[in-house]
Structure 1
Amino acid sequence: MSITKTLLKLRAHVAVAILAVLSPLLVLVALMWKLLGQLFCCSSPKSVVGEVAVVTGGGHGLGRAIALELAGKGCHIAVVDINLPGAENTVKQIQEKAKVRAKAYKVDVTNYLELVELNNQVAGDLGPVTVLINNAGILLHRKSLDPEPSDVQQMIDVNLAAHFWTRMVFLPTMKAMRRGYLVTISSLAGLFAVPYNTTYSATKAGTTAHMRALRMELSLERQKDIHVCTVMPTFLEANEELATLTNQVKISSVYPLISAKAAARRIVHGMLRGEREILLPGLASFLYRLLTLLPVGWQDKAIIIISGSKLEQFCTIRK
């Protein structure tokens, strides 16, 4: 028995050693494959002319930019937001830009029954939903360094739980029609945990895992024409308060700010090409793969050295 255990341990150690040796090579191959795919990919963007998209958090920022980008591609848009005037403003901009139908809806995405009613309304107003953009989210607590339990729960409800409710409501129609797009705006914070905003990092990590699992489920169900895409951006120039804070602490020296319009263009293009995950900026994909080769303690130190002090300043100023 002891010899068998020793052999098993030896095999395990050998396997780990082989994996450690091969990991850099595997990462290099993966990066080269990704680069070649970007340069020579023959998958041309598909058309969404006449499709119906639900864009949550569409009343401002990135959500508005994505709604406008999709409208420009001929997609009818249901602009969903808890802030109805903001959603109506987005609809106005869509109608000025594109010859598509668009309507604003005031909905709390954390309320499952409201989402069920939304689906019924959109189906009647615009048609069956075949594009879902899960964009609604909360970035900051009211008290960043010492959040109230209710604020923590609200962030979990909006950033994570709501994605389960939208999936339950809108995915069955896509399955019945055997086509569709489900795009979720996650964050690089779900890959690179962010100090001083642990709830946000946790919800985005959960969202990314949720989408990866869903993509595999759809593959097992032979739903090859329902495309799941997870977007993981860094800070965006899409929120006035955030832009002011990032300028104060010069956080752009660590995390390059991306305009909402540029991000939306990249997201919609990637969605229509069937990309599974989009990291913004693109360099983040390379850095993430390199970082995961390091021991966990080294990963922590690297993130602290690069961004810890900036993020602490960020939260202290906002306190």
Structure 2
Amino acid sequence: MSEVLRNTLVKLQALIGLIGLAALTPLLILAAILSRLIAKLCRCPKPKSIEGEVAVVTGAGHGLGRAISLELAKKGCHIAAVDINLSGAENTVKQIQETYNVRAKAYKANVTNHGELTELNNKVVADLGPVTVLINNAGVMLHRNILNPDPADVQLMIDVNLTSHFWTKMVFLPPMKALRKGFIVTISSLAGVFPLPYSTAYTTSKAGTMAHMRALRMELALEKQKNIHVTTVLPTFLRTNDEITQMSNTIGIEEIYPLISGEEVAHRVVEGMLRGEHEITLPDLASVLYRLLFLLPIDWQMRMTLLLTGSRFKEFTKMRS
């Protein structure tokens, strides 16, 4: 077959595929919307109980980690509040103990250090009991210099946002397998789906956590560990981060990435976890939008994203440079 004929056939196949995609798109949109509506209305299956279980929450010293810790305690779960800032974790424990009749203790640990996590697990088991709920919440959001970040800052972001999830899995998952039950929740970000310009390390690390949890979910299915549930949370920006709130007020990014409260996210996360949901997007509509976006050719995805967000991110770079 000649090169000209081969190229012609490839172009013809691409054209047929594009026509087919265009024809199927309305049905795919309808199916995506209906599936979200049904999930919203039914919220099946019935939520499980975690009363008396033990949860490790990383990054529990402030913001979303604190809100999730309080929400889990509300469900009767004992809390190991973990943070590299021990005083923040102790404050979280104090709030739990003032409100809920559960056991809670603060622990200082660096989630990027496998040895410290192993030691943490031993302490938590001795103090509270075996861990059956793991919340991977610790994270780093912004570089000090986004245009020319220091290599150490890039490495730290990848280590905290992505690598640490491998270490927590290695430490806390085997006991769950032995008990044949458990919950693993990873706080990812919509940035892992909708890339953030000038935040490549953040975007990459969050996309990596989403892929990691999808692979883990498949591994557990192959091992018939049906009672270990893996949930990935893809939220937009949160009001819990003062720097993000200031940025939103300055450049109006909330029009693109609406800010949501930590309490709202925590309630939705725990609710979805107990129902065994695989992925939770916040706001919910984002799950439809990102699936629709992926139907488009790559260059269209980029052009559409830049059309909607380009001017805002130019202002963002000016503000951060």
Which bracket does the TM-score occupy, shorter chain normalised? over 0.9
Give the aligned partner of residue 109 of structure 1: 111
| Cα drift, residue 25 of structure 1 | 2.0
Alpha-carbon shift at residue 27 of structure 1 (Å): 4.2
2:130 corresponds to 1:128? yes
Give 5+ residue unaligned stretches, structure 2. Answer: none
Instruction: Verify: 1:303 aligned to 2:308, yes or no.
Output: no
Corresponding residue of 2:224:
222
The 1:291/1:67 distance shift into structure 2, 3 A limit, reads same
Partner of 2:94: 92
Q: Which amino acid aligns with 2:192?
A: G
Q: Per-residue deviation at 1:297?
A: 1.1
Contact residue 190 and residue 208 of structure 1 kept, 8 A = yes
Q: Residues 97 and 104 of structure 2 are in contact (CA less than 8 Å); yes or no, is this contact kept in structure 1?
A: yes
Check 1:27–1:224 CA distance in 2 against 1; reply closer, same or farther (3 A cut).
farther
Q: Secondary structure of the equivalent of 1:258?
A: coil
Equivalent residue for 2:265, pick from 263, 280, 289: 263
Residue aligning to 2:201: 199
Moved more, 261-270 or 308-317: 308-317
Aligned partner (choices 14, 28, 32) of residue 30 of structure 2: 28
Question: 1:15-68: CA deviations, max 9, x gaps?
Answer: 846862435423432331232122124412211100000000000000000000
Distance 2:20 2:113 in 1: 45
CA distance in 1, matches of 2:48, 2:16: 43
Aligned partners of 2:192 and 2:210 also within 8 Å: yes
1:161 aligns with 2:157: no
Question: Aligned pair 1:208/2:210, yes or no?
Answer: yes
Question: Residue 47 of structure 2 is aligned with which of 9, 29, 45?
Answer: 45
2 CA distance for matches of 1:297 and 1:13?
Answer: 15
Report the equivalent of 1:176: 178
Compute the displacement of 1:126 (Å). Answer: 0.4
Percent of pairs with identical residues:
62
Provide the C-alpha distance between the structure 2 equivalents of 1:281 and 1:202, rounded to a whole number of angstroms: 21
Q: What is the alpha-carbon root mean square deviation over aligned residues?
A: 2.0
Secondary structure of 1:256's counterpart equals coil
* Alpha carbons of structure 1 residues 11 and 313: separation in structure 2 relative to 1, 3 Å: closer
1:154-175 CA distances to partner (integer Å, 9 max, x unpaired)?
1110001000000000000110
**Deviation digits for residues 166-204 of structure 1 (CA, Å, limit 9, x no counterpart):** 000000011000000000000000011111101100111
CA contact (8 A) 1:233 1:280 kept: yes
State the Cα distance separating 1:305 from its structure 2 match.
1.7
CA contact (8 A) 1:110 1:165 kept: yes
The alignment partner of 2:264 has SS state of helix
- Given that 2:56 and 2:82 are in contact with CA atoms closer than 8 Å, whether structure 1 keeps it comes out as yes
Q: CA separation of 1:198/1:13 partners in 2, compared to 1, >3 Å: closer, same or farther?
A: closer
| Contact 1:76–1:101 (Cα < 8 Å) also in 2 | yes
Report the CA distance shift for 1:25/1:112 in structure 2 as closer, same or farther (over 3 A): same
CA shift, 1:318, in A, is: 2.6
- State the match for 2:235 in structure 1: 233
The unaligned stretches of length 5 or more in structure 1 are none
Residue of 59, 67, 70 corresponding to 2:69: 67
Which TM-score applies when normalising by structure 2? 0.93
In 2, the alpha carbon distance for the partners of 1:26 and 1:311 equals 31
Counterpart AA for 2:195: A
The residue type equivalent to 1:155 in the other structure is M
Contact 1:24 1:293 in 2 (8 A): no
CA contact (8 A) 1:227 1:274 kept: yes
Residue 97 of structure 1: how far off its partner (Å): 1.1
Q: How far is 1:251 from its partner?
A: 1.4
2: CA distance, partners of 1:11 / 1:304: 29
For the Cα contact (< 8 Å) 1:232–1:278, is it kept in 2? yes
Paired residues of 1:145 and 1:316 also in contact (CA < 8 A): no
Aligned-partner Cα distance in 1 for 2:318–2:63: 24
Judge which range, 8-17 or 68-77, deviates more: 8-17
2:248 aligned residue = 246
Distance 1:42 1:121 in 2: 36
Q: SS of 2:276's equivalent? A: coil
